[in-house]
Amino acid sequence: QLKNVIKYIVSFLLAGVLVFFAFKGVDWKAFWGGLGQTRLFWLGLFFVFSLLALVFREERWRAIIKPIDPGAGRLDVWDANNVGNLVNVVLPGAGEFVRCGYITRRNMTYDKALGTIVCERVCDLVAVAVLFAVALLTGWSKFGSFFTEQIWTPLTGRLGASPWWFLGGALLVLALLVWAVFHWSGTNKVCGKIAGWIRGLGAGFVSVGKMEHKWLFVLYTVLIWTMYVLMSWSGLKALPPLAGLGISDALFISAVGNVASVIPVPGGIGAFHYLVKATLQSLFGASENMGLVYAVLCHESHAVLIIILGIASYIRLTLRKKS
């Protein structure tokens, strides 16, 4: 418990630092003036794309769950997903465990449910990488120098070697740890427990291979990330000074914005604002205020939707439990 408390305190402190740097030196009069220019039609489209992204996420998760628990209902999965998202707004990462708790049933044990979520997250990491690759390939003249100068060169410079060596080393250490756990699982109680948990995670991963319509998993993933790009695009169109940016620009901004989800801060607060503002300033020549206006408009609009749906789903689940 103390470890979790420390982790969340550090998360909030990190979010606070990022918010400070994101909003440092802001001309608040210009900021509110920029926000006041928002075109409501495009903001409405932003909410539509946000809602569709959540619907497709629910459908993808349900498609993974069904081979393990055919009785998983669409509304149950939807509510579990929404409550998990709501928790993530406050406690980063905790929402995934809450989702597992709500969806656990007779056939769906907690570790299997967690396995399906880990599978989703791995898939999303691959999707972010693909998004970056597509954005770089389609607009290398614009994004290439930004990527090499602002991301790759500083990263390799700080590590002192290629990041691939560190990734390879981490995977090797992980493989050795897994081998050790299974090797001593029969004689060591702790290793046996961890091995059982890993098998449950594996069952969650394997459920993708057992899906009746495997193409649905790919389709839902493509639809989810298409909605994210369209959210970025409609956000740009909602602000007149940024309306001239196109879909390829939205593609890159979406990829950068989703990197914020990897940073352990509540709901991406601060991280999203800082990264997106920096991207709009460095790449597209947007003013500091307008970059921040865009980040706030997109992040807070999405957060409002998450909070409303999360509260509604929590109420429904609570009433159902009482009845």
Q: What is the pLDDT of residues 210-233, one digit of tens each?
A: 666 778 888 999 999 999 999 999
Q: Note whether residue 188 is domain-resident.
A: no
The answer to which of 49-63, 136-150, 268-282 has the lowest mean pLDDT is 136-150
Q: Is the pLDDT of residue 118 over 60?
A: yes
Amino acid at 74: R
Q: Is residue 304 part of a domain?
A: yes
Residues 62 and 225: their CA atoms lie apart, in Å, by 17
Question: Which of 249, 297, 240 is closest to 273 using CA atoms?
Answer: 297
Please tell me the total count of domains within the chain. Answer: 1
Written as one letter, the residue type at 120 is E
How much is the pLDDT for 182?
81
Please state, in angstroms and as integers, the Cα–Cα distance from residue 174 to each residue in 36, 103, 122, 301, following that order.
50, 29, 16, 39
H-only helix segments in the chain: 2-23, 28-35, 40-65, 74-90, 94-103, 110-138, 140-146, 153-159, 163-183, 189-209, 214-237, 247-259, 271-284, 288-322
Q: 81-90, 158-167, 224-233, 298-307: which range is least confident on average?
A: 158-167
pLDDT band of residue 65 (cuts 50, 70, 90) is confident
Whole-angstrom CA distances from 65 to 78, 88, 117, 210 are 12, 21, 10, 10
Please indicate, yes or no, if residue 212 is contained in any of the structural domains.
yes
What are the angstrom distances between the C-alpha of 247 and each of 138, 181, 231, 265, 298?
11, 47, 10, 28, 16
Whether 292 is covered by a domain: the verdict is: yes
Asked, for residue 190, whether it belongs to a domain, the answer is: no
Ranked by mean pLDDT, the top range of 136-145, 268-277, 296-305 is 296-305
Is residue 288 in a domain? yes
User: What does the pLDDT read at residue 43?
Assistant: 95
pLDDT value at residue 54: 96
| Predicted confidence (pLDDT) at residue 209 exceeds the cutoff of 70 | no
Q: Which amino acid is at 174?
A: L
Q: How many CB atoms lie within 10 A of CB 218?
A: 12
pLDDT at 313: 93
What is the per-residue pLDDT for 56?
A: 96
The residues, ordered by sequence, that sit 6+ positions from 228 with a Cβ below 8 Å of its Cβ are 53, 254, 258
Q: What's residue 257's pLDDT?
A: 85
> Poorest-confidence range of 46-50, 51-55, 143-147, 215-219?
143-147
Q: What is the pLDDT of residue 36?
A: 85
Stated pTM of the model? 0.76
| Per-residue model confidence as pLDDT tens digits over 130-173 | 888 887 777 767 777 666 666 666 556 555 555 566 667 777 88
Domain membership flag for residue 226: yes
70-74, 114-118, 313-317: which is most confident:
313-317
- Position 176 pLDDT exceeds 60: yes
Indicate if the pLDDT at residue 300 is higher than 80.
Answer: yes
Residue type for 248, please? S
| Domain containing residue 256 | 2-140+206-322
Overall average pLDDT of the 294-316 stretch: 91
CA distances from residue 55 to 28, 34, 82, 112 in whole angstroms, order as listed: 36, 31, 10, 22
- Give the percent of the chain with pLDDT over 70: 73
> Picking from 88-97, 172-181, 208-217, 290-299, which range would have the lowest pLDDT averaged per residue?
208-217
Residue 146 within any structural domain of the chain: no
CB 283 within 8 A of CB 252: yes
Q: How far apart are the two ends of the chain, measured CA to CA in Å? A: 32
Per-position DSSP letters for 243-289, written without gaps between them? TT--HHHHHHHHHHHHHGGGS-SGGGTTHHHHHHHHHHHHHH---HH
**Total Cβ atoms within 10 A of residue 169:** 11
Give the pLDDT score at 232. Answer: 95
- Between CA 198 and CA 121 the distance in angstroms is 16
To the nearest whole number, what is the mean pLDDT of the chain? 80
CA distance 97 to 266: 15
